[in-house]
Amino acid sequence: MANYILLVGVQGSGKGTQAKLIVEKYGLLHLSTGDLFRTWNTPVAQQAREIVNAGNLVPDSITLQMVKERLQEPDAANGVLFDGFPRTVPQAEGLDELLKGFGGKVDAVLMLNLDREVAMERINKRFAEQQRADDTPEKAQKRMNDFYNVTLPTFNNYYRPKGLVIDVDGDQSVEAVSAEITAALKQKLGK
């Protein structure tokens, strides 16, 4: 049966690196809503791009519509690793509904934990090394505030009571984080 896994972590937590390793290992589709908003050319994604460029969260209805469209593509059939989604309770509820339609459910939530100060240090280092013209320290700060104020409480309120959250210490080497994730998923999914 297809597995649906959520990966959550603040910018700088190593989420992107771990996402790549997980999808390779389990043959999942990596569904990053941020990437979809940046690159997809469907009308709904284009509608969202202005909001994303301003550094704001996209409304739930638009986000859910886009995820729904992406889940209907054939490469989503083997299971999905969601990255950057859901970010709000209505999105989490909407995801449950969508997955029901595919005969599935959220199987595990991987939470990559990192202190705010450490995350900020990593992000500042990244900025110093490679300045992206479309990004600024102010936007990064706004995203970080959104993460701690909106995304993290959503996960703790919605998924933690369901026993789905797997806490992973993000303040370790890439290899150590990956090993922790592999062991936890083996226990949770039996593979």
User: What is the DSSP code string of 111-123?
Assistant: EEE--HHHHHHHH
Residue 29 φ then ψ, to 5°? -80, 135
Exposure string for 21-40, b = 16+ CB within 10 A, e = fewer: ebbeebebbbbbbeebbeeb
Least distance to ligand AMP, CB of residue 72, Å: 18
Q: Which of residues 63-102 bind ligand AMP (CB under 6 A)?
A: 63, 84-87, 91
Q: What is the 3-state secondary structure (H, E, C) of 40-94?
A: CCCHHHHHHHHHHHCCCCCCHHHHHHHHHHHHCCHHHCCEEEEECCCCCHHHHHH
- The vertex-58 CA angle with 56 and 64, nearest 5°, equals 160
127 is written with which tokens? 């900025």
- Cα separation of 112 and 89, whole Å? 19
- Considering only residues 21, 26, 34, 98, which one is a binding residue for ligand AMP as defined by CB under 6 A? 34
By rule CB under 6 A, what string of x and - marks binding of each residue 134-153 to ligand AMP?
---------x----------
Rule CB under 6 A: is residue 122 a binding residue for ligand AMP?
no
- Considering only residues 52, 89, 118, 184, which one is a binding residue for ligand AMP as defined by CB under 6 A? 52
Q: Which stretch binds ligand AMP (CB under 6 A): 51-59, 118-126, 157-165, 180-188?
A: 51-59
Rule CB under 6 A: is residue 58 a binding residue for ligand AMP?
yes
Which is nearer to ligand AMP, 50 or 179 (by Cβ)? 50
> How many residues at the interface with ligand AMP, by CB under 6 A?
14
Least distance to ligand AMP, CB of residue 88, Å: 7
Least distance to ligand AMP, CB of residue 191, Å: 27
Residues that bind ligand AMP (CB under 6 A): 33-34, 37, 52, 56-58, 63, 84-87, 91, 143
